[in-house]
Structure 1
């Protein structure tokens, strides 16, 4: 864990917010003391609700390294990852992910907190349902 990587993630998140191309979130992937990739929130610019900083950084790191296993990397994020980004962190096998700003009390993370609560509920109690629809061969 190195403070300079977190400071850099926060710096790029602020720069992104100033450009008004996305929300103030930034993330960097570090391997062996070197930044492998970075990402900023591009939701507004791309009209893509999945264009989160962490997802973009993970995707870029995977392409650069030629693997989906980032277990030898660390992620530094300006904000606490939302459920979608946390899932990607698990899928990429990133064992250590650091964040600067917690989601609780952050007005920009209201939806993330709602989703965390929803995914903890049984499917029948969720507002958005997953419906099994088998197809015969």
Structure 2
């Protein structure tokens, strides 16, 4: 339905994370900002902003590879999906192909430095 990658520098937009861009694209394609029944697959655990956007879009399921101890909002730094005060709860599956995702991220950042 949609795919994206991080573009905050290229777009001069601090919200241009891959998750947010994918949500925007999917919502435009479907003509609806709510995306129930959808699954988002990401390499690294989403940050607080991105997870908030997933919740607002009513995404049904999130699958991520590597945890993010510095900014992860699912299990690492925060546990937002477990908050009973939220109106929408999405299913979260983490650690899928974790080693492969971690290696991808390490290679990406090594090439940028």
TM-score category, normalised to shorter length: 0.5 to 0.7
Q: What CA distance in whole angstroms lies between the structure 1 residues aligned with 2:18 and 2:49? A: 11
Higher relative contact order structure (alpha carbons within 8 Å, sequence separation ≥ 6): 2
Specify which of 43, 55, 67 is matched with residue 20 of structure 2: 55
Q: Residue 70 in 1 paired to residue 35 in 2?
A: yes
Residue among 62, 67, 70 paired with 1:97: 62
**CA separation in 2, counterparts of 1:94 and 1:50?**
18
Structure 2 matches for 1:1-137, cutoff 5 A?
Answer: 36-104=1-69, 110=70, 112=71
Length, aligned pairs only? 76
TM-score, L = length of structure 2: 0.61
Which segments of structure 1 move beyond 3 Å, counting only runs of 4 or more?
A: none
CA RMSD of aligned residues (A): 2.0
More strand by share: 1
TM-score, length basis structure 1: 0.51
Q: Unmatched 5+ residue regions in structure 1?
A: 1-35, 105-109, 118-137
